[in-house]
Amino acid sequence: MRTLLLTRSETAALLDPPSLVPALSSAFVAYSAAKTERPRRVRAGLGSRGTSTVLFPGTAPGVPAYTVKVHAKFPGEDPAIRGVLCLHDAASGALLAIMDSTHLTAVRTGLVGALAAHVLARAEAGEAAVIGAGVQGAQQLRSLAALRPLRRASVYDVAAGKAEAFARALGDELGLPIEATTSVESAVAKADLVLAATWAREPFLAAAMVRPGAHVTTLGADEPGKAEVCAELIRRALFVCDDRALAVEMGALGGVGLGAEAAAAELGEVLAGRHPGRTRPEEITVFGGVGLAFQDAVAAWAIYRAARRAGAGREIDFLA
């Protein structure tokens, strides 16, 4: 059995983000409906500078394979997330591929954040605010622009130069007027779609900042001790998560001392119609995601199939 090796540039060239949305939506529905034990997410510290995470096994409907992802987060590095993903045949366990996980993780995370925003926001919402001018902020805005028309956007980052560079680059790429602002408050003042992806360890989005009827996606709170949205805002809002237990263990709820009762639904329940999602125009909605292993399976399988069709990558026999 030969294993396909794929670099970050190869995975980026092979991955078509919009094509993943239907499979991701179906996988969320199946995940929330399943009564079986959920896949594991194991995290450990790496001294004072980084953390490591293992997500396994990643499985999804229609994917005849499973994934095991090992990656690490080093906020001071570029890229800040580094690792590999192993794709195994579901019938035999054979190692089909090893691929860089950096771009794959950024894309699938951005797609899910944008999908939740699109499903939970008002139909006419088109003014976005991005908090955190990094890779994930860019992926969220790209993904949201692919799902619905946006009229304008604002961006804030603690590093003003990053926000200005983000506004120029994404404005040109998306053909969208984007303003770099000097505070979180000014960024979200007119926004009805707020996309947050930062390394914050203290909540910075307060209830008084967010307009009635707005939607907030918070993806930065994906490890214990991280938080972006204050407890009062979550309590006032309709809060939807990817996984209730993980939202408390290491996500947006646990980061501000809230329990599972604060979660109205999982995204899979909303997508399946088992929960209505937003019910009033003035209602504030919040989505908090930590990232789930089946998202990796959807993206990795698409990359693997595209690589086989294109003859991309190189092979090695680990059993030789």
- Classify residue 110: in a domain, yes or no: no
- Classify residue 14: in a domain, yes or no: yes
User: Do residues 219 and 74 share a domain?
Assistant: no
pLDDT of 36 strictly over 90:
no
User: Do residues 260 and 123 share a domain?
Assistant: yes
pLDDT of 261 strictly over 80:
yes
pLDDT band, residue 49 (cuts 50/70/90): confident
The first and second tokens of residue 318, run together, are 């680990």
User: Do residues 139 and 8 share a domain?
Assistant: no
User: Do residues 41 and 77 share a domain?
Assistant: yes
Q: Which of 159, 108, 104 is nearest to 133 (CA)?
A: 159
Which strands form 40-46's sheet, in the order they lie side by side? 40-46, 50-58, 65-73, 81-89, 95-100, 3-6, 314-316
The CATH number of residue 276's host domain is 3.40.50.720
User: Do residues 143 and 64 share a domain?
Assistant: no
Give the position of tokens 């992802």.
69
User: Do residues 16 and 35 share a domain?
Assistant: yes
- Count the domains in the chain: 2
Sign of the CA dihedral with 236 first, then 241, 247, and 248 last: positive
What pLDDT does 47 receive? Answer: 82
Give the position of tokens 């130069």.
161
User: Do residues 49 and 192 share a domain?
Assistant: no
- Classify residue 111: in a domain, yes or no: no
Q: Give the predicted TM-score (pTM) of the model.
A: 0.96
What pLDDT does 310 receive? Answer: 98
- Classify residue 257: in a domain, yes or no: yes
**Could you tell me which residues come within 8 angstroms of residue 281 by beta carbon, excluding any fewer than 6 positions away?**
122, 213
pLDDT over 90 percentage in the chain = 95
- Classify residue 166: in a domain, yes or no: yes
- Classify residue 125: in a domain, yes or no: yes
- Classify residue 182: in a domain, yes or no: yes
User: Do residues 135 and 241 share a domain?
Assistant: yes
* Average pLDDT value for residue range 221-230: 96
User: Do residues 312 and 261 share a domain?
Assistant: no
- Classify residue 82: in a domain, yes or no: yes
Measured between alpha carbons, how far is 88 from 67 in angstroms, rounded to an integer?
6
pLDDT of 48 strictly over 80:
no
What pLDDT does 78 receive? Answer: 86
Model pLDDT for residues 88-102, shown as the tens digit of each residue: 999 999 999 999 999
The CATH number of residue 50's host domain is 3.30.1780.10
Residue 43 is part of which domain span? Answer: 3-105+293-316
Measured between alpha carbons, how far is 128 from 190 in angstroms, rounded to an integer?
8
* Average pLDDT value for residue range 119-131: 98
Q: Which of 318, 295, 219, 304 is nearest to 57 (CA)?
A: 295
User: Do residues 183 and 144 share a domain?
Assistant: yes
In contact, 319 and 27? CB cutoff 8 Å: no
User: Do residues 149 and 94 share a domain?
Assistant: no
What pLDDT does 1 receive? Answer: 82
User: Do residues 80 and 61 share a domain?
Assistant: yes
pLDDT band, residue 83 (cuts 50/70/90): very high
